[in-house]
Amino acid sequence: MSTVLTDAAPGAPRPARTGRPGGRTRRPRPWSVYLATGTALFFLVAVAAPGVLDTTDPLALNLSQALQAPGPGHWFGTDEAGRDLWSRVVHGARPSLAIGAGASAVSLSLAVVLGSLAALGGRVVGPAVDRLVEVLFSFPSLLLALLLVALLGPSALTQAVAVGVGTAPGYARMVRGQVLSARGSAYVEAAVALGHSPARILRRHVLPNALRPLVAIMALSIGQSIVWASSLSFLGLGVAPPSSEWGALLEAGRPYVAHAWWLTVVPGLVIVALALAATTLGNHLQSLLERRES
């Protein structure tokens, strides 16, 4: 998926948020941050307490109400068995976000381990891990996901692991770069000159500085993981229906695309909205962090 591109692209510089022409700091665009915060809050409520937003059973059949267009009573319309789409979207937040967060966790943990090893592993381990990351990189992420699904069977867990492993190499490179630059920085040299032990330098100086940007990356990565995971559902490799996971909803609606556009368009918009909110918040967080550093 190209949605993982920026982070997964070898050596591609992350769009820097500081250093605008003339040296002025880019002012955050508050409206977009507010909008993103609002969206994120809405989804968090849907995850924590879907009952607040919707009281109907997302799986309840209502055969006499099948394929109703959006309107009063069914704000997002109904599907072929009369299930309410609004209710399904709300209840789908939990599995969707769980998969997204799980995938990010898998991806970033792997990335920190691989990236640190590559940067600090010395002459033998370092290049070996480098090669491993390279091999993972050359392996199409979707194929990796396909194989994992075949290996473990389709489930939310498989989906999270597949997406996590697929996106890890990109982050691993980023971590490697951060660790290397932190190690080469003046304060580390100073610490070395002061005779601190390597372990202490690593713990106190290198890792904290190298990993700080990952907080922001985490937000970005959750958004991307959800898009990614929903692609797997779309290919029939995700959570089994009748789960309301958004990708599964979208795939279930596809046969009706010419008759009931809402079944495809609505879940798609929800996924895009969440990914955008996560990206915006991630970028904002990143620029805040960078400003504090400078």
Residue 199 binds other proteins, judged by CB under 8 A: no
Residue 265 binds other proteins, judged by CB under 8 A: yes
Please tell me what DSSP assigns to residue 197: -
Length of the chain: 294
What span, in angstroms and rounded, lies between the C-alpha atoms of 58 and 241? 12
162 membership: H or E segment, kind and range: helix 156-183
Residue 291 binds other proteins, judged by CB under 8 A: no
Residue 276 binds other proteins, judged by CB under 8 A: yes
Minimal distance, residue 272 CB to other proteins, in Å: 6
Residue 177 binds other proteins, judged by CB under 8 A: no
Minimal distance, residue 172 CB to other proteins, in Å: 15
Within positions 104 to 123, which residues make up the interface with other proteins, using CB under 8 A?
A: none
Residues 6+ apart with CB under 8 A from 264: 250, 253, 254, 256, 257
Minimal distance, residue 190 CB to other proteins, in Å: 25
Minimal distance, residue 141 CB to other proteins, in Å: 6
Longest CA pairwise span in the chain (Å): 78
Among 175, 250, 281, 285, contact with other proteins (rule: CB under 8 A):
250
For residue 89, what are its two tokens?
């979207």
Residue 254 binds other proteins, judged by CB under 8 A: yes
Whether 116 contacts 202, CB under 8 Å: no
Nearer to other proteins, 44 or 257 (CB): 257
Minimal distance, residue 196 CB to other proteins, in Å: 29
Among 42, 82, 94, 289, contact with other proteins (rule: CB under 8 A):
82
Residue 172 binds other proteins, judged by CB under 8 A: no
In the beta sheet, which residues pair with residue 84?
78
Among 53, 101, 146, 180, contact with other proteins (rule: CB under 8 A):
146
Among 52, 190, 257, 288, contact with other proteins (rule: CB under 8 A):
257
Among 47, 53, 59, 101, contact with other proteins (rule: CB under 8 A):
59
Nearer to other proteins, 54 or 196 (CB): 54
Residues 6+ apart with CB under 8 A from 119: 126, 175, 176, 177, 179, 180, 183
Whether 133 contacts 172, CB under 8 Å: yes
Nearer to other proteins, 42 or 234 (CB): 234
Select from 162, 287, 291 the least CA-distant residue to 232: 162
Nearer to other proteins, 82 or 204 (CB): 82
Select from 246, 171, 157, 251 the least CA-distant residue to 215: 171
Nearer to other proteins, 32 or 185 (CB): 32
Nearer to other proteins, 81 or 289 (CB): 81
Residues 6+ apart with CB under 8 A from 280: 32, 33, 35, 36
Residues 6+ apart with CB under 8 A from 204: 191, 196
Among 191, 271, 281, 285, contact with other proteins (rule: CB under 8 A):
271
